[in-house]
Structure 1
Amino acid sequence: MSHPATEPGADQTAAPPPLQNATRYLSAGAYLDSRFRDRVLDELMGDPHRAVAPSLGGWNLTPVLTHCLRAQQMTLIRDALITGTASLLGVFGWNWICLLLPLALLSLPRVRRGPRVWRVLLILLTVAEFAVLPLFLIWMALAFLPRSSRAFDMATGTYVDTSPSPLLIVLALLLGLLISLLISFLPLAIAAGYRINRYVALSTELRPGATLPPPGGSGDTGWRRSRKAYLDQAQWGNITLFGADDPFVGAGSVRRSWSIVAELDRTTRSDNSPAATPRDYARIDPADLHSFVRQRLLEMRDAVNEAPERVSRMHVGDHLTARGTFTRLDWPESGAPRRWSGQSHPLIDTASGLPHFVAPPEVITDVIRQPQGGLKHYQRVTVDSDGEEMVSSNGSLLAPGEDRQVSVSAFIHLAVEGRMLYTQFVLTVLPPVAAEYRVVDELPALTGPALVWRAVSRNTLDLIADTVFAPFRLVRVAVRAIRWRRETRNPAALPVYPFGARRSVRELGSAYGLGGFIQRLDADKYVKLIERRLTEAVLDYLDSKDIDTSGYRAQASNIINNGALITGGTFNGPVAAGTGASASQHGGDK
């Protein structure tokens, strides 16, 4: 198995192309959403031996990881400054941080999505605290008022009152307390300053049209540099090792799936009557059938004369998927025969101990012809989210290319077993990136004051949480570093090791649902196009082998013509059944 150096088709001499929108948005999420950043780093850097989910839809993992690491370092400095400042201010600093605690708790997802009673109680507690605050300040001022004092005046021989005016004393104490209050809010000012700095940087570094920064200068050394290099290559591979129960990790949620089974010994030349001997059957090479289907699919892009009619953003490739928790077959007590060289498993590189991510064509062909194994083959068809521009007949621009923000992937599995042909179709959809990350499209157009106001006014509760939870985040970072060090085990010393990717960065940063109605219609359009092209290609291939396709054709017709429109929720379509075969159809929402 081989490892490519770069993304297929990349030109190392040309200027770097603009970052895809999803890449920019996810990179911005590293600074705007600490929970997203922490989950990304835990998935990609928590285990140096873990595989990575494929980057489908045209986005690039490498810039996102770079920004996550950079954001982690910057927030670590910010949290250290906030904690140190609060400690130097003593009672004042920690008292005001405790005062803001209820507001910070309101920013937590569990509180926002939990029972309403908790939110009401926190709001009432905040109102009560700020209502008592002026009374507390007045009490503090009165407590420090000096008692009235008298001094003997030698000139007049009488006692005179030397106490300052009570009004001046109250004003001076209130002014002192106000200054102390402002100083106590220095931790909040540090958090606000950090956010303003990040918004200013995001308005230039991740503006529309921004390019990938040149390599080098990141300061990464040792295992972190090698890990980033591995992830940069592995994201474009054709092997996916999944850790959770999702063989299509990285492709989004499954929106539609169906399967059809047809008999290969029901030929057009046979009368199919009872006989003492088995019927003859057509011998089909599933690898040849896959090649035929691939050709028909690519004709939708490459064999269309008119540019507006091409599905130009369609990509067809191979997808090998296997459960990523491996049992070492060379374990001394296993007694398993050895048919490969190396320490652990055929899908693990013996030199680096990392999962393989690219399979050569001959391996793919072997997997296609052995459908009962643990390594399953799918032909993957992906339609990217980038739309094409519209041009009039005279060459003028009608509408620029628009990012649909939704990527559609179809996975096609063809298997020949027991004189039967099994066709499986799985449709997944990647929803748009979370709306709060897309703020980077708006920032470049703002003036300086407007940019500052946007930074401090957007998600104010999160800004307060950044201040209040700074000490806890420092502790969490230290605990995570210790945990990573302890949990970083040597797979060669264990009989079972989980190499599989658990989550996809693109899915971690996705919004809920498929966005607008037009986006759902676009997804449904490409589902119909790919489904029809697939079924007609399989039917043409079976017809060329003189196989009776009446049952297959009836099932395919029921599935395609009676399929439900993808608008969210559950698909209500019929369960197709045909002569000598069965079919099922189901769908689901994220």
Structure 2
Amino acid sequence: MSQTVASGADDRTAAPPLPNATRYLCAGAYLDSRFRTRVLDEILGDPYRAVAPSYGGTDLAPVVAHCLRAERMALIRDGLITALMVLLFLTGSVAPVLWLAVFLPAALLTLPRVRWGPWPLRTLLVCWAVAGVVSAPALLLSVGVIELVMFLSLPASSLVALLGAHFLLIVLSVLSPVLIALGYRVQRYLALAVDLAPGAGGGQAEENAWPSGRMSYVSRAQWGNIALYGAENPFVGAGRVHRSWSITVETDRTANGDNAPSPVPREHVRIDPADLHSFVRQRLLEMRDAVPSPPERVARLHISDHLAVRGTFARLDWERSATARSWGGQSHPLIDAATGLPHFTAPPETVTTAARHPQGGLRYYQRVTVGAEAGEVRSPAGHLLAPGEDQEIVVSAFIHLAVEGRMLYTQFVVTVLPPIRDDFHIVDELPVLGRPGIVWRALVRARAELAADAMFAPGRLVRALIRIVKANRAARNPARYPVYPFGARLSVRELGAEFREDRFTQVLDADKYSKLIERRLTEAVLDYLDAKDVDTSGYRAQAATLTSYGALITGGTFNGPVAAGTGAHATQNGSGK
């Protein structure tokens, strides 16, 4: 194993400007505190955790750096608000009473569990807020009357000035947490407009705040070919499963041989999975490299290796199979004994060996990735008719070929990574607004959240400080545990994605590239088996059935039975009228 990657990966991580996907995720660090917290917990929470593969032009280094910067800005905001609250509470100011009467119910109404919860609770909070607004003038008036009685002996001019100054101080103390929160939001939008504008290089992110070793590891590991997954999904980072199927064929059933019953085993054709993978890869690459016409070329097609490994390692399991045991440090073959970190890149000989051992824990897939970027359209004279467009989805096909028990098993899994959340795209809009427009946008967008920004500041500050303390404490040594979860649990790109495709053209593009790769794979395997004189009639029948089940029906009216999926069955009785 190796912890190095090709130079091309290093070029990708260092090349400015930031790709769109990376810019949008960097913006999410400022716009969504929950997204920011989950990113920091996944990447920096455990220094021994593996990193999910990056898809769709996503570079983790600037995203995490901006998460750290956004967290620092939020800490300053919450620290100022909390300090102000404590000071006013200790001085006996009337401001905390007004906060509880007006701002607290408004803040609670912004919580998702309240917005989507029982309506009596929302009604109660609304009544609470209305009562607070109505009673606030009366409370201020009563305070003014008390002060008037206390300082009644002063001259009239001095008394008016004193009451006016005190009233202004109360108003400022009541509104100061909201003003701090509003200033934070304006500053955040200004930073987004400058640092993450289209074509920007990412601004002054907090890269120095990274632990240097972790930063280097994450920057390289995201481009590796080993995927240590911590949950149940071996394709972590690739999105949801769009389509999957498998086909089997007997390798001892030849096209021209005698397949009649026999007391001795039939001769079987020896198939090398590594050689078959190489043949399939060649056929798939022809979709990009052997097409002379650029409009017909699948230019965004890329093929790489994907070694899926369950990332929870048990020492007892390894002890039973290991010939040499060195329990002073990590001794698992997928863990670097020098650093204790998971390996992320396997050399070609390891990839080939994994392809030939389908029953092992190191499962090999050939990964075919297609970005749905639409190229520009030009007339024969060279005039631009339509500019290029980034659909933002990423279609990935995982191909597994296994030779076991005189059978060839073909597994095909297609995943679709949805586009990045629409609200993160605001960095494309802000730069053209100008400073006054940006400030106005911040004011408009912030009005519903200002009360929550102010009232929940102490709780956010405590949680952030606890997370920082946990992150900076001495990391636990995996060598001391019989079982340790090294696997990546989450993907940053998936955390920032929409739930599904947000345009129907994206659905159609995902289906198109799925079918193109599927057909190319099927024909390549059939050609290979035909050349080996293997009977492919069973393979063709299964492939035809899968093609029939894979029909996409949408819109209009369809009369008659429809069945799709594994074991699908549909019947129609009567005339159907």
TM over 0.5: yes
- Offset at residue 18 of structure 1 (A): 2.4
Residues 264 and 281 in structure 1, CA contact (< 8 A), matched pair in contact too: yes
Residues 398 and 413 in structure 2, CA contact (< 8 A), matched pair in contact too: yes
Residues 379 and 411 in structure 1, CA contact (< 8 A), matched pair in contact too: yes
Structure 1 stretches of 4+ with a deviation exceeding 6 A read 147-150, 168-172
Residue 108 (1) aligns with residue 111 (2): yes
Residues 62 and 228 in structure 1, CA contact (< 8 A), matched pair in contact too: yes
Residues 141 and 174 in structure 1, CA contact (< 8 A), matched pair in contact too: no
- Offset at residue 522 of structure 1 (A): 1.1
Residue 255 (1) aligns with residue 242 (2): yes
Q: Deviations over 1:207-246 (max 9, x none)?
A: 111125699x84337xx11101100000000000011111
Secondary structure, in 3 states, of the residue corresponding to 2:550?
A: coil
Distance 2:164 2:152 in 1: 22
Write 1 or 2 for the structure with the bigger share of helix: 2
Residue of structure 1 equivalent to 2:174: 184
Q: 1:553 to 1:335 in 2, by over 3 A?
A: closer
> Among 133, 136, 145, which residue is 1:133 paired with?
136
Q: 1:92 to 1:289 in 2, by over 3 A?
A: farther
Residue 390 (1) aligns with residue 377 (2): yes
- Offset at residue 409 of structure 1 (A): 0.7
Distance 2:294 2:437 in 1: 42
Q: Deviations over 1:493-541 (max 9, x none)?
A: 1111100000001111111221111111111111111111111111111
Residue of structure 2 equivalent to 1:531: 518
Residues 431 and 513 in structure 1, CA contact (< 8 A), matched pair in contact too: yes
Q: 1:229 to 1:110 in 2, by over 3 A?
A: farther
- Offset at residue 163 of structure 1 (A): 8.6
Residues 107 and 452 in structure 2, CA contact (< 8 A), matched pair in contact too: yes
Output aligned runs, 1:157-556, within 5 Å. 173=163, 176-212=166-202, 218-220=207-209, 224-328=211-315, 334=319, 336-338=321-323, 343-484=330-471, 488-556=475-543
Secondary structure, in 3 states, of the residue corresponding to 2:199?
A: coil
Alignment-mate amino acid for residue 423 of structure 2: E
Q: 1:487 to 1:214 in 2, by over 3 A?
A: closer
Residues 238 and 318 in structure 1, CA contact (< 8 A), matched pair in contact too: yes
Alignment-mate amino acid for residue 66 of structure 2: H
Secondary structure, in 3 states, of the residue corresponding to 2:398?
A: strand
Which sections of structure 1, spanning at least 5 residues, go unmatched?
A: 151-161, 578-590
> Among 552, 565, 575, which residue is 2:566 paired with?
575
Distance 1:148 1:78 in 2: 37
Query: Is the deviation greater in 387-396 or in 322-331?
Result: 322-331
Distance 1:305 1:478 in 2: 58
Residue of structure 2 equivalent to 1:95: 97
- Offset at residue 291 of structure 1 (A): 0.6
Distance 1:7 1:60 in 2: 15
Residue of structure 2 equivalent to 1:585: none
Distance 2:152 2:227 in 1: 84
Distance 1:352 1:201 in 2: 37
Residues 19 and 57 in structure 2, CA contact (< 8 A), matched pair in contact too: yes
Give the TM-score of the pair, scaled to structure 2.
Answer: 0.90
Residue of structure 1 equivalent to 2:29: 30
- Offset at residue 566 of structure 1 (A): 9.0
Q: 1:557 to 1:472 in 2, by over 3 A?
A: same
Q: 1:143 to 1:198 in 2, by over 3 A?
A: same
Secondary structure, in 3 states, of the residue corresponding to 1:240?
A: strand
Q: Deviations over 1:430-486 (max 9, x none)?
A: 111111111111000102222111112214333332221211122112222344456
- Offset at residue 15 of structure 1 (A): 8.8
- Offset at residue 136 of structure 1 (A): 2.2
Which sections of structure 2, spanning at least 5 residues, go unmatched?
A: 556-561, 569-577
Distance 1:538 1:484 in 2: 49
Distance 2:547 2:397 in 1: 15
Q: 1:294 to 1:213 in 2, by over 3 A?
A: farther
Q: 1:113 to 1:427 in 2, by over 3 A?
A: farther
Query: Is the deviation greater in 365-374 or in 130-139?
Result: 130-139
Output aligned runs, 1:29-68, within 5 Å. 29-68=28-67
Distance 1:60 1:283 in 2: 42
Alignment-mate amino acid for residue 472 of structure 1: G
Q: Deviations over 1:535-575 (max 9, x none)?
A: 1111111111111111111111221233143989xx96143
Q: 1:290 to 1:147 in 2, by over 3 A?
A: closer
Residue 120 (1) aligns with residue 129 (2): no
Distance 2:21 2:307 in 1: 25
Residues 238 and 415 in structure 2, CA contact (< 8 A), matched pair in contact too: yes
- Offset at residue 58 of structure 1 (A): 1.6
RMSD (Å) for aligned C-alpha atoms: 2.8
Distance 1:260 1:352 in 2: 42
- Offset at residue 175 of structure 1 (A): 6.8
Distance 1:340 1:314 in 2: 43
